[in-house]
Each structure stands twice: as structure tokens, then as C-alpha cells.
Structure 1
Amino acid sequence: MGVAYSVGEVDHLYTFFVEWSPENIYSHKHSRKQQEFLQVHPDALSVIGSLLKDSPPENWQIVSVKQQKRRTSVCSSADSESDDLLPVLINHSQILKELHLEQLMSHIPARAQGNQWKLVYSTAVHGTSLRTLYRQMAELDRPVLMVIRDTDGQVFGAFSSDPFRVSSYCYGTGETFLYSFSPEFQVFRWTGENSYFVRGFLDSLQMGGGGGPFGLWLDADLYRGSSYSCNTFCNRPLSLHHDFTVQELEVWSFV
């Protein structure tokens, strides 16, 4: 059960643990015990005592950890390297590895940063059906990340500001982007040329366009796909070949 403390109490406790470390109490395990003392203000001592009294010492553990990376400022460049910790994936991914997560994190919009990632659709779990993909997202009202691995072993996909759905018009915002790890990681953001971000049909899903092929296109069975340069994202083909076959496909939401 969580316990709430005032800002002052937390400050006292934080100062105590920052200034105290096990090295101040014991030296090497074969050497003689050393004693060093930390001076603590009486008021801080009483606060620390009140915080610790409800929990017996055997339930406490103090560990040394490296300085945690701080979250990238909302005002920082989207192309700068991410200082974020890796996201927490609620479910196991058949595709995403630590390297993929590290590189994607710096490009996820600020409103999705710090959230856990939940798998809402997977061909391995739900089968290969675009209709099922739409059905799995019917209740969502937040961004989603699509991740594809094709039969060439290449990983690529798209971040959509809106969950995928059937629509008679294009939807989405300038947060939407395409990305590829084939052969190295690249992100393709909105050019401002048009607003053909996403359009969903029962027989296909389209992302990007403008006077030609789509930046990313998938068929009704989520088996065949294609990727061409498009005006919306000015992207290169996401896969090694314009036309590809899907091996695995996942869609993640941010909760």
C-alpha cells in the first residue's frame, strides 16, 4: 500500500539517503569494521524516524544505482539523442528489441513519453486480418505505433496520432511519421505538403500519398504490403523492396 508524505518529509528522507551509503559503514569484508557518522539535523531525524517506524528494517533494502537518465525536454529537438529510459512493455514483443526501443523513444511525441506500451494487436496473437486490427482499436482514443517485420527480416512501420479505423477521409495529425531500420534507422516526418496521413478501408490500410503510391500500404490479410516515396513524408521505401511480405505485425498503444 502506498503512503503519501509532504514535500518537506520527502526532502528530508531524500537528503538522508543521498548522503549515506553502505561504504561509510563497512570497508572490505576482511578488514576491521569502520565507523563514520553522518550529522543529521534533529528535525530531519524525527521525520526520518517517523517514516521508518512503520516498516521493520528487514523490509528495507538500500542499493547503489547509477545516475538515472533524465527525460528529454519537450522543447528539445526531435532529432536529438534520447535521454529517456527504455519504455515498459506490458506484453512481450515478437519484433521489438532493446536497440529498436532506444532509437524509437526519442521520436515518440511528448504526450506519449513515459507511458507503458500495451500490445493491442499482433498477427501472432490475433491472426492476419485487417478487420480484426480495426476491431481491436475500436475503443482506443490515443496514438498507436505499428511495427512490421517482413520476410527479409527488415523492421519498419509507422507512428499514428490516431488509432487505425475505417474512414471515408484521411485522418491524423503532423505527429504521424514513418520509420525504418532498413538498413539503418531513419524517421520520415510530415513535410506539410498534404494531410494524407492515414486512411483505412476494409480491404486496405494506407499511410501517406499525394499524386502517386503510398508511403505504406497493407492489404486486407496483412500479408502483402508496399512502400514507395510519397509527398506526405518524403520517405524512401521502408523495406528493401517496394513490395514486401509481412512476417510479423504488431500495434502498440501508450497507456
Structure 2
Amino acid sequence: MGIAYSVGEVDHLYTFFVQWSPDIYTKDAKKHHQSRYLIREKNQNRFLVVEQDNVDVINKLLSNPIKSNANGWEIITVKDPKRRPSVCSSEESEAEEPEDHKHVVDILPVLSDHSQLLEDHHLESLVSQMPARTEGYPWQLVYSTAIHGTSLKTMYRNMADYDSPVLLVIKDMHNKVFGAFSSHSFRVSNYCYGTGETFLYSFSPDFKVYRWTGENSYFVKGHSESLQIGGGGGVLGLWLDADLYHGSSNSCPTFHNLPLSTQQDFMVQDLEVWAIQN
């Protein structure tokens, strides 16, 4: 038959399949669309993935009046679920998207919560730059100033049990969005940590990614009173204070980046950290 999953919605499960098996589930592989089916347990939101060869057998089982719980299940083809990026989709977003926009939606990640900072165009740009090992995994919101307040210590504490790449998203008082992707979760450390997968990015005004130059390995350094990303020569690519309210961004040898905000010193309006993990 297949594997049982427990998820919130059919469309979120389908999005996961699209990212892991685009050759089967994307619109460019229509002949495969009819080869897999989802069987949904209506009340529990549990699912089975079955091959087409097994659908007739499953249909007979579900239609058997002897089975008292048969009416609680239904078969859904993979065409039926709408492809949505988040578990917090609004009713307005349930409408079918135009055909020329479907591929964009297909690659968007599944978010555990609604993001106050990231819109679809942000997600599309960021996902295209992330390492292949992060593809298909849901994004878990581990820290948000809107939810958890403004405290670097709280951010570290919330990530204590995570061992996964994380995405830092900042919106400053000028409504500019920028941040960093880190190969490892943020923590207090005596030394710099991370790998060359780490990068800085900015949407101010156009999307730009600043990758590792190879000049040094000053990827991430977590202090109790500050968070530093990128460095060398006495300058930091991105710096945040203990209250996650003041920050700065300068060109640094690690990434050869431009300042991420419109000003080198900025004030944080909102901040989120997303963990990308299984």
C-alpha cells in the first residue's frame, strides 16, 4: 500500500511530495499524476499513499458494509488537493491558481505557522538558494519577536533542541527585509561555527545573496550579548544585540556583502527564525 502520514491538510502533504518527487508530481509529468492516490481518514486527517494498481482493492475494502469504519475514509486523486505553501492558508488563497503560477507555488515550503515577514516572493527566492539537503523539509517557526518578545537569550533557548539549518529573517524600521541562512542553529559558542552553506541575503530593494568567499570561516559566533554572522578585519556582516532591537551590517571578508539594510546601523521592527528539519 504505502506509508501512513499524519498532517493537517491534503494540500500540504501534496506539496511535500512535489518537492521530493517532482518527476512524478509536477505538471510536467502529467502521465504520472494518475499513478498515485491519497486515501484520507476524514476525522483524523491521516493519509495513505497507494499505487494505482492497489486502488481497486482499496475501493472494495472501503465500500464493504461489513467494515464499520469504512465510511470514515475516502480516496482522493493527486489532482484534487490544491497546492498551497502554508498550513495557514486563507480562504481567499483556496481559489485555483492560474496555470502559469502553479510551478512557483509547488516549490514553496510548508510553514508550521504564518509568517509575519515572508511573502510568497520572498519564499520563492530563498528556497532557490538553499542547499539541496533542505529541499522538501517543512519550516518550523522557532522564534518570533511578535510571539516570544525581544530577547537573544530566549532565541538561544528556543533553539537548544534543534540541530538543523536555520533561516534568520529581519524587517527593520524602514520595512526592509534581510537576514541570513545558517548551516547550524544559533547558540552561544566559544568559537565560530558553520559551513560554507551559510549565506547572507537582502531584499533591499532587489533580492541579493552573498555567499562564502573562502577568505575565512567566520560564519556564526554566538555570544550571550550578541549574535555575529560573517566577519574579518574588525567588521561584521550582520550583528544583533542582546535585545534583538539594534543591529548593524557591514561589508565583510567572509561574504563580500554590501550592507544588508539601507543603513549600516538599523533598528529591528520584527524578527523570525525558521528551522528547516525533518
TM-score interval, normalised by the smaller of the two chains? 0.7 to 0.9
Out of 221, 228, 231, which is 1:206 matched to?
Answer: 228
Q: Which residue of 2 aligns with 1:35?
A: none
**1:185-224 paired onto structure 2 within 5 Å:** 185-224=207-246
Identity of aligned residues (%): 57
Determine helix, strand or coil for the equivalent of 2:58: helix
State yes or no: 1:119 paired with 2:119. no
Q: Which has the larger radius of gyration?
A: 1
**Cα contact 2:231–2:253 (8 A) shared by 1:** yes
Q: Which residue of 1 aligns with 2:173?
A: 151
In structure 1, distance between residues paired with 2:143 and 2:57: 47
Q: Which residue of 2 aligns with 1:10?
A: none
1:124 maps to amino acid: A
Q: Which residue of 2 aligns with 1:4?
A: 2
1:119 shift after superposition: 0.3
1:205 maps to amino acid: L
Q: Which residue of 2 aligns with 1:99?
A: 121
In structure 1, distance between residues paired with 2:155 and 2:52: 57
**Cα contact 2:33–2:79 (8 A) shared by 1:** no
In the superposition, the TM-score normalised over structure 2's length comes to 0.68
1:4 shift after superposition: 2.6
**Cα contact 2:204–2:262 (8 A) shared by 1:** yes
1:221-250 CA-partner distances (Å, limit 9, x unpaired): 000000010000000010011011000000
State yes or no: 1:251 paired with 2:273. yes
1:83 shift after superposition: 9.4
2:57 maps to amino acid: S
Q: Which residue of 2 aligns with 1:172?
A: 194
In structure 1, distance between residues paired with 2:52 and 2:248: 65
Q: Which residue of 1 aligns with 2:57?
A: 50
In the superposition, the TM-score normalised over structure 1's length comes to 0.74
Determine which structure has the larger strand proportion and give its number: 2
1:49 shift after superposition: 2.5
In structure 2, distance between residues paired with 1:15 and 1:222: 51
Determine helix, strand or coil for the equivalent of 1:59: strand
Q: Which residue of 2 aligns with 1:30?
A: none
**Cα contact 2:34–2:52 (8 A) shared by 1:** no
2:238 maps to amino acid: L
**Cα contact 1:118–1:254 (8 A) shared by 2:** yes
Q: What is the number of residues matched between the two proteins?
A: 209
1:166-219 CA-partner distances (Å, limit 9, x unpaired): 111111000100000001001000000000000011111111111031000000
Q: Which residue of 2 aligns with 1:25?
A: none
Q: Which residue of 2 aligns with 1:59?
A: 74
1:99-127 CA-partner distances (Å, limit 9, x unpaired): 10010011111111100000001101111
